[in-house]
Structure 1
Amino acid sequence: MKLSKLIEACDVIALRGNGEVEVTSITSDSRTVTPGSLFIAVEGIFTDGHAYIGKAIEQGAVAVVYDKPMIEEYFSRVTYVQVKQSAISLSQIASAWYGHPSSLLKLVGVTGTNGKTTIATLLYDAFRHLGYPSGLLSTVANYVDGERYPTTHTTLDPVTLNDFLRKMVDAGCEYAFMEVSSHAVHQKRVHGLRFAGAVFTNLTQDHLDYHKNMLEYRNVKKSFFDDLPVDAFALTNIDDKNGPVMLQNTKAAQYTYSVRGMADFKARIFEKHFDGTDIEINGKELTVQFVGTFNVYNLLAVYGAGILLGLDEEELLRTLSLLKPVAGRFQTLRSPQGYTVIVDYAHTPDALSNVLSAIDGVLNRKGRIITVVGCGGNRDKTKRPIMAREAVQLSDKAVFTSDNPRFEEPGEILQDMLDGLTEEQKGNTLTIADRREAIKTACALAQPGDVILIAGKGHEDYQEIKGVKHHFDDKEEVEKIFNKLKTKSEKIE
């Protein structure tokens, strides 16, 4: 494709060289440059692509897009395009390279602190169940209709993202659902995409290692809604104090969902049990295979988005009753000894509080809650003492352990958690850095009727320690313990 075609939508400041040069590939990673490549130099969090322009040219790049007036030496064989903002240009170029695939799909983005994965995945599951070829881009996995691809980020880089959307179009998909993280919005990774709709879940403390404060975090989310086209829909959780904020400046059609008050899409909860919840949505009763008020919000968002995308209400309600929880989201395991283990991804104070409240609502004090929880290394440190307090206040026993320590010392992370507790609260807490031993200890402490929550990692099948990912799966660990208990019980019999 000719360079001039690729940069049509870019805010070009200056062009030096041949604008009609033929480009054979596009990349923002100098390591993947091949002869004929267009290299887009973008300043990232840890590295600046401008420092690798020379390397890209050595490897055969025929054109370079950049936004810093810092190139001192120009090579006549290379075309240089200076733009206002490289990150935005990268998204625009990626979209053009793959034929603007988002405009050929009904693409819905889901953003917020908690619930993104569940809502995006359930939308994908619902639409495929109803016979519509669809795609999914999520934290757990990416899907092109029925074909699964592994994932590395909540929201992919613009080139990979548009590549997936193109695959979806080529596979005949009509709809696509994706998680949209605040990082992705801030870094302009979704800038070149055309969304048919957006869903806001909630906003609670997270990512303050990246964003300066909660106001900036909220405003980044809001900017996603501000940029929606006029023919899109904006669906927000009106029960969250930031829900109305998302709609303040959007051009899209505005809709709300609520469990507590009046809204376009309204739910009521009748009865809770560990196998599901009896609810009502817009006056229609149904039983769903999900537990907790937070999951009712998630299902309500799925219902609202489905209706706004044109699904038949009766068919959608029937489908909602058939949907199952997403991997690592309130996954329930029953032990041979009569206690229950729940594995959940809850890794923010609000998410942990929601899951523990959901467990308490079903248990109704007829059993104890034992919580196994840790905090990730090299992430927002301010939420560690808050996570600890939530775990202790809402549990009968808390076991603090390692999550993904990354490059931090597990002991230091655990100390940050303990610093949030009173001396009395510390007395009801165990600290076991080894996650496997922490899970074993919780199971050993459990009695019939108790519930163990293992929080923080959910679907993840690894632990990241000192830059190395070691295989570790909470659900697997629990199943190993259950199998040993079962074998031991059989031998006794």
Structure 2
Amino acid sequence: MDRFIGGIDVKITKLLANVAVKKVVNYQEVDVSNVACDSRSVTQNALFVCLLGENVDGHDHAEEAKGRGAVALVTTKEIKSDLPQFVVDNSRAALAVIAGNFYGNPAADMKVITVVGTNGKTSVTEILSEIFLFAGHSAGTIGTLGYKIGRDRTKGVLTTPDPIDLNKNLAEMRDHGVEYVFLEASAHAVYYDKLAGIKANATVFTNLTQDHLDFFGNMEEYAKTKLSYFSLENTSLAVVNSDDAYGRKLITAHKLPILTYGIDNPADVFAIDVEEDSFGLSFTINAFDKIERISTPLFGRFNVYNVMAAISVAMYFGIDLPLAAKALEGISAVPGRYEVSYVKDRRVIVDFAHTPDGLQNLLSDLRNGFGGRIVTVFGCGGDRDRSKRPIMGAIAAKYSDHLIVTNDNPRFEEERAIAKEILQGVPASASFDVILDREKAIKKAFDRTFPGDTVVIAGKGHEDYMEIKGKKFPYNDKVVLQKLNR
């Protein structure tokens, strides 16, 4: 198979293979050495794909792209330009296919397992990677934590990278001999066709709960987008959580082959006798009528689901259950996901929980499983779904002995206004503080607790910045804890 890496010229006709071009203007065969959808990224001999964004229309920047060296355009309408134009209905889907062609369609050379859902995507991909590496396979992950080849990780920005970066990452993985790629597929990635041209070998559905309503408007549209990914055009197999209401809709739809996992509803893979102590989780798993006792240092009942999802995929691709169980014995916590440490004799949990369901799962698990008081520090992101703020305030108040409302990437919103909306869900009888300086809020949590208590720091997890007014300032919850522990 031809493999095209940036800097090597590719004929425009090869780049447009499998792209539904409905009209060609000013046709001529040209050599392309770069693909760009941002005019600022255009270099000599580039193909510029005009995208219509929320605030910017790429068609308005076609002449700028030409001035920077573009030799051809992909558009959704004929525009005034003497460059060759290839007009399509959906330039975002076209970009994804073109990016794949440019890098030699690297996904086709590996097994690609995508993970779709509101919560658990990162944990499932990381657990899968560890199982497959332990079993002797070469594996990579792409998602919220960046992209990783083996255990060598590079930071990223988006849960699912834009198509050009995504295919560049996949090409690098292919060229390093990666056999299996575990890829987080966000709702935005599905909506914007970032994965067009990539057919997954299997797709995990974790769950679907409230998030991103600032973008999708309501749960119906959010669910419609997520579930639309599950077609034979996009994946060969669905691995579905049978305990999730939307998961059961997928199961009954019968649109593609399905494996199921769950605890409370019938499933191909299910868990019983779930126990949790200060060392982690243990439970008995029945996977396709094979039985094994699982012991892992991971915490939280929700991680039972993540482990079941990973084992379902691992066994489908030929990894024996005892080997997968052995891999789980030595697995480390996923960065920023129920990470446990001990600071000043307090049990401290750092977790990315930033949705109502995520926070509920985390805090209810702690309330039911461990003694001592719980003090929770959390905030909600600015310029995001405002409707979840009072819901999360109510959840935090319900399961915490004391709540400290603080900042979490306020972006362009006023910090105090966000806190006020969170407090709308907090009963007047609840014990709470509002301390917008997140570092001071964490320090206050230790003042409010005693040895043996639990401090929960939720919302940011692995993040190493605080985004305020368009700027990202260095900040990390775990660094704050390190200072306190000195």
TM (normalized to structure 1)? 0.93
CA distance in 2, matches of 1:66, 1:40: 6
Task: Give the whole-Å Cα distance in 1 for the aligned partners of 2:77 and 2:130.
Answer: 44
Correspondence 1:153-168 to 2 at 5 A = 153-168=158-173
Q: Which amino acid aligns with 1:216?
A: E
SS of residue matched to 1:176: strand
Deviation larger for 86-95 or 45-54? 45-54
Residue pair 2:38, 2:58 contacting (<8 A) in 1 also: yes
Is 1:152 the counterpart of 2:150? The answer is no
1:49 aligns with 2:53: no
Match of 1:330 in 2: 338
> How far is 1:437 from its partner?
0.7
Deviation at 1:249, TM superposition (A): 5.0
> Is 2:484 the counterpart of 1:481?
yes
Aligned to 1:352: 359
Compute the displacement of 1:228 (Å).
4.4
CA distance in 1, matches of 2:458, 2:383: 18
Cα distance in 1 for residues equivalent to 2:343 and 2:400: 19
Residue pair 1:113, 1:202 contacting (<8 A) in 2 also: yes
Q: Tell me: CA distance 1:466–1:227, structure 2 relative to 1, closer, same or farther (3 Å).
A: farther
SS in 2 for 1:424: coil
Match of 2:3?
none
**TM-superposition CA deviations, 1:73-105 (whole Å, max 9, x none):** 231xx2111111101100111111111111111
**Contact map agreement 1:279 1:288 (CA 8 A) in 2:** no
State the alpha-carbon separation in 2 of the partners of residues 19 and 212 from structure 1: 43
Question: d(CA) in 2 for partners of 1:13 and 1:247?
Answer: 36
The letter of the residue matching 2:22 is I
Decide which of 132, 138, 143 is 2:143's aligned counterpart: 138
Alignment-mate amino acid for residue 148 of structure 1: R
Deviation at 1:221, TM superposition (A): 0.9
2:314 maps to a residue whose letter is G
Tell me the equivalent position of 2:81: 74
Which residue of 295, 298, 322 corresponds with 1:314? Answer: 322
- The question of whether the paired residues in 2 share the 8 Å contact of 1:375 and 1:413 is answered with yes
Letter in 2 for 1:476: V
Specify the alignment match of 2:246 in structure 1.
242
- Give 3-state SS (helix, strand or coil) of 1:261's partner: coil
CA displacement, residues 259-288 of structure 1 (integer Å, 9 cap, x when unaligned): 123201111243211320111111311211
Contact 2:292 2:322 in 1 (8 A): no
Q: Is the 8 A contact 1:228 1:250 kept in 2?
A: no
Conservation of the 8 A alpha-carbon contact between 1:239 and 1:259: yes
1:122 partnered with 2:130: no
The 1:315–1:228 alpha-carbon spacing in structure 2 relative to 1, beyond 3 Å, is: farther
Matching residue's letter, 2:357? D
Conservation of the 8 A alpha-carbon contact between 2:300 and 2:338: no
Task: Report the number of matched residues.
Answer: 473
Residue aligned with 1:290, SS: coil
Q: 1:350 is paired with a residue of what secondary structure?
A: helix
Partners of 1:249 and 1:83 lie apart in 2 by 31
Measure, in 2, the Cα distance between the counterparts of 1:229 and 1:94: 17
- Aligned partner letter, 1:322: G
Q: Look up the match of 1:489.
A: none
Instruction: Deviation per CA, 1:361-389: give whole Å up to 9, x if none.
Output: 221xx311110010001111000000100
1:410 Cα deviation from its structure 2 partner: 0.7
Give the Å deviation of 1:132. Answer: 0.8
**Is structure 2 residue 23 aligned with structure 1 residue 14?**
yes
Identity %: 39
One of 426, 429, 434 as aligned partner of 1:424: 429
Q: Is the 8 A contact 2:340 2:349 kept in 1?
A: yes
User: Which whole-Å CA distance do the structure 2 matches of 1:40 and 1:176 have between them?
Assistant: 27
Q: Is contact 1:229-1:251 (8 Å) kept?
A: no
Match of 1:411 in 2: 416
Determine which of 432, 435, 439 is the counterpart of 2:438: 435
Pairs within 5 Å for 1:34-45 = 34-45=43-54
CA contact (8 A) 1:145 1:168 kept: no
Q: 2-side partners of 1:89 and 1:33: how far apart?
A: 17
Taking structure 1 as reference, are residues 228 and 297 closer, same or farther at Cα in structure 2, changes over 3 Å only?
Answer: farther
Give the 5 Å matches for 1:82-481: 82-228=87-233, 232-247=236-251, 249=253, 251-282=255-286, 283-336=291-344, 338-363=345-370, 366-425=371-430, 428-481=431-484
Write the distance in 1 (CA, Å) between the matches of 2:380 and 2:417. Answer: 11
In 2: Cα distance, 1:384 partner to 1:412 partner: 11
Q: Distance in 2 between matches of 1:368 and 1:321?
A: 29
**Residue 25 (structure 1) shift:** 1.2
Helix, strand or coil for the counterpart of 2:195?
Answer: coil
Q: Which moved more, 1:373-382 or 1:277-286?
A: 277-286
Write the distance in 1 (CA, Å) between the matches of 2:153 and 2:109: 21
Q: What do you get for the CA RMSD once the two structures are aligned?
A: 1.4
Compute the TM-score of the two structures, normalised by the length of structure 2.
Answer: 0.95
Q: Distance in 2 between matches of 1:154 and 1:466?
A: 22
Unaligned runs of 5+ in 2: 1-9
Counterpart for residue 65 of structure 1: 74
